Amino acid sequence: MPFDSFELIRLHPTHDFGEFSCGDNEGEKDLNDFLLTSSKSYQKELLAVTYLLVNKQETIAFFSLANDKISIKDHESTKSAWRRLTGSNIHYLKRRESYPAMKIGRLAVSHKYKKQGIGQAILNYLKQHFIDNNRTGCKFITVDAYKDSLGFYEKNGFKYITTSDLKSDTRLMFFDLTLIYNAIQP
Amino acid sequence: MAKPIKETPVLRRVDAKNFRREMEANKDKSISPAEALKIRADYEKIRAISKF
């Protein structure tokens, strides 16, 4: 898919979306609704920022990003808390109870542009971006994925975060950026 | 009204165990050189049209 005529822009509060539809099933309708009715509110509340892939006035795709973290409470973290209190000098990586992440809150491609690799290109852009321009530390990309798109994220290396959302409309998944970082080390 | 973006829960028990195991396994793993090239190429393609 040639991107030469497209632009990637950050959502502006006065942006006119025009028409956008990524499809008609339940999840897709919700994604359309998110862009048209919620994306600006998330941005105004400083909860997520939406980016648009546009061709002149037409919205090709969008994605909304938020800061995230993956926190763990288990035997290891209990042990590490004790060690911290007692001043044990265990290596800092061993005692972490949370890891910085970036969440893809929503990502959708217009139905007119599906099956052209745009969604995957966006994921790859984000993966590399958070390696090359990782200004504050980000180890994982997380995503709140609709059921219909689980296969897409699996194909792109994402794993499930929890089994507690098996029956939910969306499932939380993560991608470990270490896999890319290791690949590009000399 | 669209569904809210779900928050990532604190991982406990089996979820915590699976996550730590996955993270540990990834320490020495990497994607293939071909995948790394594809990711880099897509990144450059979109970076070139980025307006912010």
Q: Does residue A1 belong to any structural domain of this protein?
A: no
The reported pLDDT for the residue numbered A18 is 86
Q: Does residue A94 belong to any structural domain of this protein?
A: yes
pLDDT digits (tens, 9 = 90+) for A9-30: 999 999 999 889 999 999 999 9
CATH number of the domain that A151 lies in? 3.40.630.30
Q: Does residue A11 belong to any structural domain of this protein?
A: yes
The reported pLDDT for the residue numbered A75 is 74
| HEC letters along A141-156 | EEEEEEHHHHHHHHHC
Q: Which residues of A touch B23 (CB under 8 A)?
A: 99, 176, 178
Tell me whether residues A74 and B13 touch, CB distance under 8 A.
yes
B32 touches chain A (CB under 8 A): yes
Confidence band of B21 (pLDDT split at 50, 70, 90):
very high
Q: Is the pLDDT of residue A106 over 70?
A: yes
B25 touches chain A (CB under 8 A): no
How many domains would you assign to chain A?
Answer: 1
What's the pTM?
0.92
Contact A34, A64 (CB under 8 A): yes
The reported pLDDT for the residue numbered A96 is 85
Q: Does residue A2 belong to any structural domain of this protein?
A: no
B5-34 average pLDDT score: 96
Range of the domain at A43: 7-184
Q: Percent of chain B at pLDDT above 70?
A: 100
The answer to whether the complex's ipTM is over 0.85 is yes
Q: Does residue A38 belong to any structural domain of this protein?
A: yes
A8 vs B5, B15, B50: nearest CB = B50
Amino acid (one-letter) located at A7: E
A179 vs B30, B50, B51: nearest CB = B30
